Amino acid sequence: MQIIDGKKVSALVKEEVKKQTLELKEQYGITPGLAVVIVGDDPASRVYVNNKKKACELVGFKSEEFSLPAETTQEELLNLVKTLNEKKDINGILVQLPLPEHLDDKAVIEAINPLKDVDAFHAVNVGKIMLGEYDFMPCTPAGVMEMLHSYNIPVNGKNCVVIGRSNIVGKPMAMLLLHENGTVTICHSCTQNLAEICSKADILVAAVGKPKFVTADMVKEGAVVIDVGMDRDENGKLCGDVDFENVKDKCSYITPVPGGVGPMTVATLMKNTLKAAKIQNNL
């Protein structure tokens, strides 16, 4: 069993982004800019936003944070997005989800210019992912693919199972595996014989949001297990969707929580923002 080290892979990705950012500055005087919008004071969102700011500093981006009170109106938020769409020095716009309940996150995402939508949540970008002709890939699934590539784990012809069908992880994850010729099954809360389906997977991706949901009987001997979950167990300790201790000995590769997929999400965001800056400047 080999641990897939997300910290190590993400450091390599950020190093490459840093190098290309320096070249952009030296050759064209362009510094990629990322705007992060956070509404209210959800503690988990605050942690994510701080991580994104740190990563921007590390790779040499300009980052702007817009921290809005929880009672911000839909109109105020849409006006901010409109302003950021028009700002030349902002190449990527990220609105931290979830938003407070009175706000319509779909309308907010659709208001972002698709060329600045570095989360790849806009309908235009989602459509491009379906077609396999995308500018940006959603950060978490793209981070998973980056990990598979960096450990030379082939997807071609493999039986891939994704547990979870969210628009943020499950669905795009399935599409990216499909684009690399995986045979993909998506499982969800209405799936029958879930354990049986999972136990046939060469590559199993868990994105279900339930602590230690994937147990050893659901994992095939020698499978690659990717844990996208970020949960707390009964003792309040950070854990994933996979029962790591009991599953690890059956796997050929497994991602830990923390230190697996999490760091990759932020690294891919940096990669997307760099690409956005290049596209917007016709480079």
Q: What is the DSSP string of 177-223?
A: HHHTT-EEEEE-TT-SSHHHHHTT-SEEEE-S--TT-B-GGGS-TTE
**pLDDT tens-digit readout, 59-112:** 999 999 999 999 999 999 999 999 999 999 999 999 999 999 999 999 999 999
**Residue 158, pLDDT above cutoff 90:** yes
**pLDDT tens-digit readout, 265-280:** 999 999 999 999 999 9
Q: Do both 103 and 154 map to the same domain?
A: no
pTM of the model: 0.94
Q: Is residue 127 situated within a structural domain?
A: no
Q: Do both 153 and 247 map to the same domain?
A: yes
Catalytically active residues, by annotation: 52, 96, 119
Number of domains in the chain: 2
Q: Is residue 191 situated within a structural domain?
A: yes
State the chain's mean pLDDT as an integer. 96
Percentage of residues of the chain with pLDDT beyond 70: 100
Q: Do both 154 and 52 map to the same domain?
A: no
Q: Is residue 5 situated within a structural domain?
A: no
Q: Do both 102 and 164 map to the same domain?
A: no
Q: Do both 158 and 237 map to the same domain?
A: yes
Q: Do both 144 and 258 map to the same domain?
A: yes
Q: Is residue 193 situated within a structural domain?
A: yes
What CATH code is carried by the domain that includes residue 198?
3.40.50.720
Q: Is residue 84 situated within a structural domain?
A: yes
Q: Is residue 119 situated within a structural domain?
A: no
Domain that holds residue 163: 139-262
Q: Is residue 78 situated within a structural domain?
A: yes
Res. 236 pLDDT band, cuts 50 70 90: confident
**pLDDT tens-digit readout, 15-69:** 999 999 999 999 999 999 999 999 998 888 898 899 999 999 999 999 999 999 9
What CATH code is carried by the domain that includes residue 97?
3.40.50.10860
**Residue 222, pLDDT above cutoff 90:** yes
What is residue 44's predicted lDDT score, i.e. its pLDDT?
Answer: 85
What is residue 233's predicted lDDT score, i.e. its pLDDT?
Answer: 87
